[in-house]
Structure 1
Amino acid sequence: MPTTLKRATELYVHAKNLSAGTRAEYLVTLRKWGRWSGRTPIERLSRAHIREFLDHMHEQAVAEGGRNPGRTANKVRENLRAVLSWAWEQDFIESLPQFPRPKPQRDVSGRHYLTKSELNALYFATYSMKSPKGWREAVPVGRYWRCALVLFFNYGFDTGTIWRVVPANEPILWRHVTWDALPTDGQAKERCRWGWIYYRRVKTGKAFYRPMNQAVHAHLKSIMPQQPDPNRPVLQGGGVRPNARFQELCRLARTQSKIDVETGEQRPWHLKDLRKTCATYYDAHMPESSIEILGHSVSGVTYKHYAHRDPLAFKAIMTIPQPASFMGLQHGFDGQCPCCRRVFQENS
């Protein structure tokens, strides 16, 4: 029997135990879908159906004099994507329909994440980074920072997980990286051809084994010594003030500063914003996956002790779309832009 969007939304809201305000938002989206005469069952929904509906929402908001019609359409898009992603996980539909791009919108509450174009600019700006005084590593400092950007984007690491900012931090060591198909803890059932990485969250101390996708694998291989010391940190070049070096990298990339909406003041980017960037793109790619990826604390006995969330994290990490610059290394474009083949000279 075909499943209507109304039925799927009701099941989703009940299964997720959402707050009253969030449930009201989904019901508003459902009423908009009904007024648009959206009678197509979710099994037959396509990109064309969704695009027509979102275009209608945008045009209606413009006609009604809405101050931010793009945000109105994008909110509906997020709700539809969350419901259909859940329906796909529950096998109500065989495949998740491809969604059109978000509409341009005015960020009412300010933007606290970096766009993919800005990530690309930061990645290529690492070629211009100067090595610190007394640098004796065989690998240029820019290569370490390129690897760090990839790790921040894919796992949302704390700064202390990448570099030992304070003595209490436990950074990733070479013994925490395994190239085997299964992690050494023996708990994960999934096999990953690219290997696994172990780390511990700074704030909660919770330990994780996460799979490496192709981008992470290629960048870790690019900085690995021929005979790595198991007790040596993987990443170098952070120094005692990694945020200061990151802000210098932002200046090299000519990245615009954040703007406080309330005061209008410009504020510099911090490494913590890369963690927010990770959460933003994971939730856009697979709703609610950032909770598990970033290791956020959750409430509820069932979730803490019985719910097995590793498959969701595995699927999200292995399928999240990467910025174009991150994909060049595994395709043989080290030191080149993967789209235009522009050559970047490594600074020594």
Structure 2
Amino acid sequence: MSTTFKSAAESYARAKGLSRGTRNEYASTIRKWERWGGAGPIEQLRRKDVREFLDWVHEQAVSDEGTNPGRTANKAREHLRAVLSWAWEQELIEAPPRFPGPRDQRDVAGRHYLTKAEINALYFATHAMSRPRGWDAPLPIGRYWRSALVLFFNYGVDTGTVWESTPSHEPMLWRHVSWERPSPDREVKERSPWGWLFYRRVKTGKAFHRPMNRVVHAHLRDIMPADPRPDSRVFLGGGARPNSRFQSLCSLAGIKPRLDIETGREESWELKDLRKTCATYHDENVPESSVEILGHSIGGITYRHYAHRAPLAFRAIKSLPQPTAFHALVKGSGSECPCCRRRYADAG
């Protein structure tokens, strides 16, 4: 039984639980595919067909006076490749065709990741965070934010995983933290001397059991109550608007707003940029690892055959070089700087 690209793409979107915005982007690619004339079954697709379709998308973008036709063609290429890779996994096709390389494009987003120097500045600026009105937690708010920064950097978690921004989010609870060496997931054979974390992605609901490294372990121990209740939240201090609080932290750290290359306007940093920061440094450390760390859909055939995914994530998290500030708690007492022994402003 033959399968059209439209039916395969719609099945892919349902299986992956894509967000509404992403589904709309795939629907746009489906319309382009049908306008081009790609009504045949995907089982008969060849490299020549893919190349002709992507050339047509680029030409249409140029004729429509698009500002970035290379990016438009590359987006269609990304969608087509994801659907065909998924169809191969589902054994709908014997093998996906070889894809032509991506076209040159102008990066319009600018730099959407924070440098390690900026992360260090953010980390130490948490000591100067003011006490929020009505704050009754036993620890200063900065201690929770330092631990949150460590999690964002190592795992690229969603904001809703750390702080329950809306009722639909599932925040990390103390019963999601395991200090044992074996993984709570029986399918994971690796053993972690520092313990394990469990959390779900906000968009897809996909569950993860991730190993802790020494830095993550130390920071979670630092905010753990003497007798943590299993259903209590791990992280406090996000407030009703975590992004607003993060932007105030950026001001304290002296971090300049990012610059949009296309418009030339300054934009405030957001917590989702820490997710992009995580992806940047994981790929720099272990190529292709960010796909598994962040829980993205598999983007290509190469990654599908890249060893096993769980060991890949395990190795990436264990070996990720940390910003120097993250070692302050490991090497110091948490109340004074480990290098100059200067007492922090929020030290108890």
TM range (shorter): 0.5 to 0.7
Pairwise CA distance, 1:133: 1.2
Pairwise CA distance, 1:336: 3.4
Contact 1:325 1:337 in 2 (8 A): no
Task: Give per-residue Cα distances to partners, 1:262-281, cap 9 Å, x unaligned.
Answer: 11111000000000000000
Distance 1:201 1:212, change over 3 A: same
Q: Which residue of 1 aligns with 2:262?
A: 262
Q: Which residue of 1 aligns with 2:291?
A: 291
Say if 2:273 is the partner of 1:273: yes
Q: Give secondary structure in 1 for the equivalent of 2:209.
A: strand
What does 1:304-343 align with in structure 2 at a 5 Å threshold? 308-343=308-343
Q: Which residue of 2 aligns with 1:136?
A: 136
Contact 2:336 2:347 in 1 (8 A): no
Task: Give per-residue Cα distances to partners, 1:51-110, cap 9 Å, x unaligned.
Answer: xxxxxxxxxxxxxxxxxxxxxxxxxxxxxxxxxxxxxxxxxxxxxxxxxxxxxxxx9862
Task: Give per-residue Cα distances to partners, 1:242-294, cap 9 Å, x unaligned.
Answer: 00000000000010110011111110000000000000000111110000000
Q: Which residue of 2 aligns with 1:164?
A: 164
Q: Give secondary structure in 2 for the equivalent of 1:199.
A: strand
Contact 2:148 2:162 in 1 (8 A): yes
Distance 1:109 1:199, change over 3 A: closer
Q: Give secondary structure in 1 for the equivalent of 2:210.
A: strand
Q: Give secondary structure in 2 for the equivalent of 1:112.
A: coil
Pairwise CA distance, 1:142: 0.4
Q: Which residue of 2 aligns with 1:155?
A: 155
CA RMSD of aligned residues (A): 2.4
Q: Which residue of 2 aligns with 1:208?
A: 208
Alpha-carbon distance in structure 1 between the residues aligned to 2:176 and 2:278: 21
Pairwise CA distance, 1:338: 3.7
Distance 1:260 1:325, change over 3 A: same
Contact 1:336 1:343 in 2 (8 A): yes
Unaligned runs of 5+ in 2: 1-46, 49-106
Amino acid at match of 2:330: Q
Pairwise CA distance, 1:236: 0.3
Alpha-carbon distance in structure 2 between the residues aligned to 1:296 and 1:227: 36
Contact 2:183 2:189 in 1 (8 A): no
Range with bigger deviation, 303-312 or 259-268:
303-312
Amino acid at match of 1:172: M
Contact 2:144 2:223 in 1 (8 A): yes
Pairwise CA distance, 1:339: 4.0
Aligned pairs, number? 244
Q: Which residue of 1 aligns with 2:110?
A: 110
Contact 1:130 1:347 in 2 (8 A): no
Alpha-carbon distance in structure 1 between the residues aligned to 2:257 and 2:156: 21
Q: Give secondary structure in 2 for the equivalent of 1:193.
A: coil
Q: Which residue of 2 aligns with 1:248?
A: 248
Alpha-carbon distance in structure 2 between the residues aligned to 1:189 and 1:321: 24
Q: Give secondary structure in 2 for the equivalent of 1:189.
A: coil
Pairwise CA distance, 1:342: 3.8
Alpha-carbon distance in structure 2 between the residues aligned to 1:122 and 1:301: 38
Q: Which residue of 1 aligns with 2:87?
A: none
Alpha-carbon distance in structure 1 between the residues aligned to 2:266 and 2:347: 29
Distance 1:186 1:253, change over 3 A: same
Contact 1:170 1:200 in 2 (8 A): yes
Unaligned runs of 5+ in 1: 1-18, 21-106
Q: Give secondary structure in 1 for the equivalent of 2:321.
A: coil
Amino acid at match of 2:336: Q
Contact 1:125 1:249 in 2 (8 A): yes
Amino acid at match of 1:199: Y
TM score, norm. by length of structure 2: 0.66
Pairwise CA distance, 1:177: 0.2
Alpha-carbon distance in structure 1 between the residues aligned to 2:165 and 2:111: 27
Alpha-carbon distance in structure 2 between the residues aligned to 1:273 and 1:306: 27
